[in-house]
Chain A
């Protein structure tokens, strides 16, 4: 090592830094800095030309001042001058200044680019590296424009020095990340891939980052890297620890390169070539074996490097998810780490196991560690580790262990850190719902949740428990009893009062028989909480009271008294006052019958995506591994409109997670291709009229054959929800257009076209508002009349401007002939008599097809009911079969239809037969239905 001249290369700078360090106060520091800035300014402006050394010194001082956190608005030109100095250190400081303090001044950029260009062509490797470092550090679009075509040449040229190649590779990577459109690998692809074979390990290390990034974007073009990466990895893994000389790190051969190779392989599926795959599996086994060997050094660096490779190998094994043997070994290895004394390893093991839990091969193996994980949740001293343990418990939860896990999470909640409580609450609520076998357990869990962590229970959670109680009559009595008991607590959380008010208002009658919870006792209990609650809760309670008047006429006088008192009827809050006045009036003038109708029990809520799940997804951001979907028929695609007056949900549109730093902002929307498979038609095309129906994708449309409500379409900009109702030959469809962005949509227009014979089916649709504000939703109503039977669906065309670009999109509206069904009940005898009457060959349509979904009886029944026909029991001699009957109502005629669906569970096939009084209807229904099961 040469004797380092620490800073005395620039004495003035050292003196200045000492001065700053000696400043006793912030004010003194600012004063000293201002003095220096004035000095430098005068030097730069002075008549005397500065020599290179002084210029370098002052530029360096400016840099120091900037790094202290002060703004610098001059000196750029002097720094740029330094770039063209032929003295290395001056050039170096110039580049450093530019890298840290880029200025978008275009004149300056031109000069900088010029200097870089000179250095790149200087053939002096040190200068070339400096220039490449500068491009990599700044990485602006202007630089990409100037150099993106030059750098690949430098990278692959035979006479380029290794160090320059390394810089060139990473420089290109940076430019590719900022301006992928400008970096065209084309002819260089194969030579870049072959850098994996380079003699120089440093070159491979640098090049592999570039190759990984390019492979992610263009996997096919870079496919050949897989076998090269495997053989390189294999050579490293099998090398002795001294073979790689300086690339061995604490007895671990090339840990960085190994990790990167394993990372690159994760861009691809398992190798198809048997030999390559065999070699790779061997590598992975060796890595797992090495983990069991005694360490070659006690240093933490040794074990970290070794385990870094091990974790990366496990990630690859999980990524492949195809080698049960390796998956289980990985799981066992992680299991050992769960009890390791190093906190870091415990943390990573918990994190990595979360992904293993979702593989079918290792789910069971992960579950065996439940006690250790619960213990971690209880005893880890570091909140970030506890958080990982909670995540893992959530991921490993299934029906068999749900009660235990939920209980543990609940008890942890009592002492959990504030930062993670809300997420924990959501997770408990989701698990309780997802794995509820009996709903009384579910109700208990949620009420406990409110009791323990009421402040963190968001609206979504308590809305959801109400939705579920309302939809399931077997739990209503239990729920009423339990909330009643919970409300007895002297201090109970406001959320508990809300749930209590709602549930007793609906189902208080179910427990009113017991004198301990007679109507008046219930009312007094609720009202004792009234004065401590916020306005929205009080409003909810007032609604519960009026419901009480209907449920229990004997409470009428007491409640009217309460409504009549000044604090209600003259309340300064408009909402409360209005409710009090209206409810009082309603209760005094309406007859019992009217009251019973108005205050009838809430109808069941439509099935929808659990609002809590949507909330957790939103919290975690898209693509969070730990959020698995709710299944079990409790979920359909999100429904837009909340039902009910009080349990109203915000439309559950999971917006892309708020990217706090804006660092990984997703690609600009206008540049995104129409990627998702569910997009119906070329969403971003600038083309004018609707695409021909040949290009219209049926997926979204077909989902609505058996249901009327849901999300028809969704992309990054727009969500379209549908709610529709039909009666005889008439229908009404509500379309909800939601702007998912924060930017206004301009010139928003929608048109409905009915191809051919459909011409007059859609009676009227008022034009929509031309402006849709960011985040807003607008509604449109279509009135529909079915004149005659039809097979083509109407097309909805939507046009709007988003940030100047015209968006044009055409969707099939899910109006199908079956919407106009009237169900017809009939006995077995009648059915077969009619069946025989419709025996002409053209009246029948039949299809035999493979089951696309599970053959679950309840699901099939639900779909057939959704179709609109009557599902007839005890008609078909074979109880496995389903038969239905219905009449399609059109303006011109009625069409009788009979349906028979014969499942064959063994073959996973169905035979579907339709007989209708009109042959075109048989055909169309058969087509529509064959794709539903």
Chain B
């Protein structure tokens, strides 16, 4: 099970955070601060897994963004790397070659996509098609709503 997932930039700016266990805001901030530092300090060719405090951490860098997950002890590291990759694929497909700015300006979308893909820290739907279908439906609802608005104006 995922314990949390963090997306942060090379400068250490947090772009997305998802927590699958109840923690206080203070704890979350502390973990984020320390883990971001630890991961940013690692060199490019190093291994994607590390033991950090009591946690197994899996991370991967895509362009300027780091995707970083903490998982439970018995969880599979490699499959976690591919969960990260599939999430990146989903963002990429949705935004059309995603970049950091897309996630900054559409943070709520990044959360919605994540919720369709992972729920409660476990994979809910691993098919790219099915996840995107769910998101598209939501967007269609938005589109219709907006066009009504426009027609009123």
Contact = CB atoms under 8 A, between A and B. Distances in A.
A259 B79 contact: yes
Contacts of A205: 123-126
With a 10 A CB-CB cut-off, give which of A87, A304, A312 has the most chain B CB atoms.
Answer: A304
Contacts of A259: 76, 79
Interface in B18-68: 21-23, 25, 27, 29, 31, 43, 45-51, 53-55
Interface stretch (A63-71, A773-781, A817-825): A63-71
A206 to B, nearest CB: 5
Contact of A661 (B25, B54, B77, B145): B54
B23 A202 contact: no
A1 B94 contact: yes
A93 B141 CA distance: 14
A64 B146 CA distance: 22
A14 B53 CA distance: 38
Given A89-B145, A259-B76, A661-B31, A384 B49 contact: yes
Interface string A1-16: 1101111010000100
A163 B105 contact: no
A923 interface: no
6 contacts: A4-B106, A7-B106, A64-B107, A209-B122, A384-B49, A661-B53
A574 interface: no
A64 B116 CA distance: 20
Given A384-B47, A663-B54, 8 more contacts: A4-B94, A4-B95, A6-B102, A9-B146, A89-B145, A174-B121, A660-B54, A661-B54
Interface in A166-204: 166-167, 170-171, 173-174, 177-178, 201-202
B11 interface: no
In the A-B complex, list the 7 residue pairs whose CB atoms are closest, starting with the nearest.
Answer: A308-B78, A174-B120, A308-B79, A209-B122, A246-B127, A88-B141, A660-B53
Contacts of A346: 47
Contacts of B25: 71
A126 B79 CA distance: 29
Contacts, number: 207
Given A6-B105, A92-B138, A69 B29 contact: yes
A133 B107 CA distance: 17
Interface residues of B, number: 72
A202 B108 contact: no
B72 to A, nearest CB: 8
A249 B82 contact: yes
A60 interface: yes
B46 A381 contact: yes
Contacts of B125: 163, 166, 202, 205-206
Interface of A: 1-2, 4-7, 9, 14, 17, 21, 53, 60, 63-64, 67, 69, 71, 87-89, 92-93, 96, 100, 126, 129, 132-133, 136-137, 139-140, 163, 166-167, 170-171, 173-174, 177-178, 201-202, 205-206, 209, 246-247, 249, 254-257, 259, 263, 266, 301, 304-305, 307-308, 311-312, 343-344, 346-348, 381-382, 384-385, 387, 621, 657, 659-664
Nearest to A2: B139
Contacts of B50: 384
Which secondary structure characterizes the binding site on chain A? Answer: helix
B120 A173 contact: yes
A60 B111 CA distance: 12
B46 A384 contact: yes
Interface string B110-153: 01100100011111111111101010111111110110010000
Given A69-B14, A305-B79, A87 B23 contact: no
A34 B116 CA distance: 33
A206 B124 contact: yes
A14 B108 CA distance: 12
A96 B108 contact: yes
Contacts of A14: 105
B139 A126 contact: no
Contact of B129 (A9, A126, A132, A246): A246
Contact of A662 (B27, B45, B76): B27
B126 to A, nearest CB: 5
Nearest to B134: A163
Given A163-B125, A170-B122, A170-B124, A621 B54 contact: yes
A177 B149 CA distance: 43
A346 B81 CA distance: 15
A393 B3 CA distance: 30
Contacts of B132: 1
B76 A308 contact: yes
A661 B26 CA distance: 11
A28 to B, nearest CB: 16
B85 interface: yes
